[in-house]
């Protein structure tokens, strides 16, 4: 199959990688080679074969519903690139308008809005250099 610039950029967006123009070119060529390489098995007839999706034979591996101590908050936040000692801090999640309604429900409101925005995949901020 043909690998286009659009495909490479689309995959980069899905992967959250802000690749440069030269990276795009290089990746396009790599993609083409890898696709050819991994297509080797397309010739195999696997119509009657069940896919092997697990590497374990076991099933029903469970844990009892017994609480164990959590990490102290300081430890949980210790590795955070940005925190105020209580929360992880990130740049404002897109969906600003959503936050303008009833502040008390701002948590869930903005959350539902923001999540939806980011899930959409139609964020134009990514893409080429």
Distance CA 13, CA 122 (A): 9
Distance CA 45, CA 14 (A): 31
Please pick, from the candidates 4, 5, 25, 76, the single residue that binds another protein as defined by CB under 8 A: 76
The residue among 129, 117, 94, 128 whose CA lies nearest residue 11 is 128
Here the tokens at position 58 are 């076991």
In this complex, which beta carbon is closest to another protein, that of residue 5 or of residue 20? 20
In this complex, which beta carbon is closest to another protein, that of residue 2 or of residue 122? 122
Please pick, from the candidates 21, 25, 39, 128, the single residue that binds another protein as defined by CB under 8 A: 39
Smallest distance, Å, CB 2 to another protein?
13
Smallest distance, Å, CB 5 to another protein?
13
């Amino acid at each position: 199959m043909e690998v286009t610039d659009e495909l490479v950029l689309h995959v980069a967006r899905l992967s959250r990688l802000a690749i440069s123009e030269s990276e795009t070119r290089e990746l396009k060529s790599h993609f083409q080679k890898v696709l050819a390489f991994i297509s080797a098995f397309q010739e195999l007839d696997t119509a009657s074969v069940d896919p092997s999706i697990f590497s374990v034979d076991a099933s029903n591996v469970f844990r009892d519903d017994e609480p164990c101590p959590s990490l102290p908050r300081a430890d949980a936040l210790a590795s955070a690139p940005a925190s105020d000692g209580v929360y992880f801090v990130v740049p404002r999640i897109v969906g600003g308008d959503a936050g303008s309604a009833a502040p008390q429900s701002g948590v869930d409101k903005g959350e539902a809005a923001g999540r939806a925005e980011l899930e959409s995949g139609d964020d134009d901020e990514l893409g080429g250099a």
